[in-house]
Chains A and B, each alone.
Chain A
Amino acid sequence: MVPPEYYLVLSAAIFCIGLFGILTRRNALLFLMSVELMLNAANINLVAFSYVWGNVTGQTFALFTMALAAAEVAIGLGIIMVLYRNFGGVDVTDATTMRW
């Protein structure tokens, strides 16, 4: 029996690694990967609590999250293509037109 705290700390660690990537990288593709990490951190939580409560709802949700992650990546890749076309690169700091 692994206590739930361990799962939670693992999930927090993965989430923060993903976040770290988003905060320090400028490449849009790396952004997508980091977001994947963060989503999977959430999945770890879902599965862990599914086990804690003895109920498969959390696991089912984790499946849905993966499906949505696929959708997100699909849209994200499309956006990155547009970004590349309009700004000549995939550096997210170039695309600053949507401000004040």
Chain B
Amino acid sequence: MAGIFDFVPAIVLLPFVSFLVALAVGNRMPKGGAFAGIVATAGSFLLSLATFFTVSQGQTYNQTIYTWAQGLDGAVTLEFGLLIDPLSALMLVIVTLIALLVHIFSLGYMNDEGETGLPRYYAGLGLFTASMLGFVVADNLLMAFMFFELVGLCSYLLIGFWFREPGPPSAAKKAFLVTRFGDYFFLVGVVAVFATFGTAAFAGSESFPHLAEQALAGETSVNTFGFAAETWFTIVGLLVLGGVVGKSAQFPLHTWLPDAMEGPTPVSALIHAATMVAAGVYLVARMYGFYALSPTALAIIALIGGFTALFAATMGVVKREIKQVLAYSTISQYGYMMLGLGGGGYVAATFHLMTHAFFKALLFLGAGSVIIAMHHNENMWDMGGLKEKMPVTYYTFLSGSLALAGIFPFAGFWSKDEVLYETLIHGLGGSPILLVAYAMGLLAVFFTGFYTFRMVFLTFHGKPRSQTARDPHGVRWNVKGPLAVLGVLAATTGVVNMVPVEKLLGIKGIDFLHQWLDMSLDGLTAHHYAELTPYSSAYIGGEATTVAIGAAVSLGLAIAGAGLAYVLYNVPEPTEHTDKLGGIKTLLYNNYYQDEYQVWLANSVVRPISRGADKFDQGVVDGVVNGVSSVSLFSGSRVRRIQTGVVSNYAALLTLGLTVLLLGFGLLGGWFQ
């Protein structure tokens, strides 16, 4: 039966076709190939919706569609396949929707602004969308890795879109190299998974999470290279996590993301907020059955997440450029997702992934709208008072900001609160390390509220602080439309998973996302993951009390942060208050000297090592090779001297040779014995 699942490859291929079209004939098309991209992503979006509804009927799909290396005699088989379960269906809808909106927004941001090189831009967007979708539907780790790399490549191409200016190419290179550093570990992890389990499939009875589970239960045995099974699974999990940390911009590989803001703003919205950075978190969610087996890996994920959330939030507090604030908030929010995953809140993290995709795309597009209006001046201190001039942007941006800050009842509140709640109850249930991560996450809520509203007030409130802000450039429907769609979504997405309401008021059955993620294939359901995780839950008072306390505390902190911003910056003539921070100000402006530290690492540690390696290569390896050649050249030039050309010498040599041979045979044959 030709079901909707037969069309799933088309979801991936449509944007790829638009990439080819934009590349080949984009110059001869109106709008530089934008319409091809819009049509393709719209088609993908519709197909994703259809897939989504089919999945909601309880159907799933796990099929190999192409075997590109058949393993003989027990060797591994390399395949491309599709895995459509509630998680990937949800992600498909998110990615295609945001890609579609970003394509439309690009009409306003790129075409209307008279940018050149548009076919290249739309080709990059198309290829990026295709790669991300391929990554989402991948049914095995190797395929996921390949699309992961493609996503990284597109990120490089799009960040460096304005390659004639000095900043973007450098930022593109940095993004590429830093994520590649993480992907190196990912690749080693992929190989380790193949070597251990002989398969890299995500789902099914022959999948590696399932095999790992059985191996821990002693039902089957896998090659663990001499380690205890759990230790080895932790090592493999952490290797793959390297790629996640790079791609999802977690500490210490987060430094590329703020620089990546050099790219066009729609690209920032698509790649560095909603989708590509989500790839890392999505990968952890995809193979959560594997991570859930290792308490150490989970604890490390939670700690990285909590620390990154706090760390990035503090850096966002002092930034002057609107996109920089958003960049650090992105890092911080992905920290929350990692915190949720590490804290055993699989559903919570997925929930936050979804809501964040919407509200962060919204914020970036809103920032893009502001940047159009400000004639590409991104400094918030030159803005102010834009509220009256661009109401659509203001209200949608406000919706996104409320969601980001986690203010009730916007989407971000529900998801962030659930992440923190899950971490809290599991931390109380005997995992003190989660409580540390929880504390960091909670503290970050305050900073989030502060920097978010500092940004809002500086941009939209007060009096205009520059001539441009007094007379901003207008924006058209193609900017306002996507903003409106996302603004509504950012405000309302929370309803899909109102767990606190369910717990407090006792209304059953409104935790739709929990139910949704439970419909997956065997072994991929949220319940199964909950059983696998090593955590137990404990509550303060009772379940409802804990929910109430957790929500109240985080909401209170968010409002406190927003309130502080209100006091400091919601005045007609706001001034910089960063001087009050004293020495910390410099530290924050310089991002905790992370870049300097990494440059120092590269210059003072890596460079001498590579210099030594180079010396070894030039001296020893090349020396041996050159030595062999010069020795043979020299000996050849000497040995050839016996070829005198005088026939008597040849005869003498022949004679001597024959004599020696005869003597040798004679001695061997028993003379003088």
Contacts and interface: CB of A to CB of B under 8 A. Distances in A.
Do A and B touch each other in the complex, judged by CB within 8 A?
Answer: yes
B467 interface: no
Given A22-B651, A23-B652, A96 B646 contact: yes
Nearest to B647: A92
Interface residues of A, number: 13
A93 B651 CA distance: 12
B648 A99 contact: no
A97 B643 CA distance: 11
B655 interface: yes
B645 A95 contact: yes
Interface in B611-664: 640, 643-648, 651-652, 655
B644 A26 contact: no
B458 to A, nearest CB: 86
A8 to B, nearest CB: 13
Contacts of B645: 95-99
Mostly, the A contact residues are loop
A31 B646 CA distance: 13
Contacts of A42: none
A29 interface: no
A96 B402 CA distance: 99
A93 B655 contact: no
Contact of A93 (B640, B643, B646, B652): B646
A60 B58 CA distance: 102
Given A23-B655, A95-B647, A96-B645, 18 more contacts: A19-B651, A19-B655, A23-B651, A23-B652, A26-B648, A31-B647, A92-B647, A92-B648, A93-B646, A93-B647, A93-B648, A96-B644, A96-B646, A97-B645, A98-B645, A99-B643, A99-B645, A100-B643
A38 to B, nearest CB: 11
24 contacts: A19-B651, A19-B655, A22-B648, A22-B651, A23-B648, A23-B651, A23-B652, A23-B655, A31-B647, A92-B646, A92-B647, A92-B648, A93-B647, A95-B645, A95-B647, A96-B644, A96-B645, A96-B646, A97-B645, A98-B645, A99-B643, A99-B644, A100-B640, A100-B643
Contacts, number: 28
A9 to B, nearest CB: 15
A26 B651 CA distance: 12
Nearest to B639: A100
- 8 closest A-B pairs (Cβ-Cβ)? A96-B645, A99-B645, A100-B640, A99-B643, A93-B646, A92-B647, A100-B643, A22-B651
Interface in B459-482: none
Contacts of B647: 31, 92-93, 95
Contacts of A31: 647
A98 B649 CA distance: 13
A32 to B, nearest CB: 12
Contacts of B648: 22-23, 26, 92-93
B635 to A, nearest CB: 14
A98 B646 CA distance: 9
Contacts of B640: 100
A26 to B, nearest CB: 7
Nearest to A31: B647
Interface string A59-100: 000000000000000000000000000000000110111111
A92 B645 CA distance: 10
A99 B647 CA distance: 10
Contacts of B644: 96, 99
Nearest to B637: A100
A26 B649 CA distance: 11
A11 B648 CA distance: 22
Nearest to A98: B645
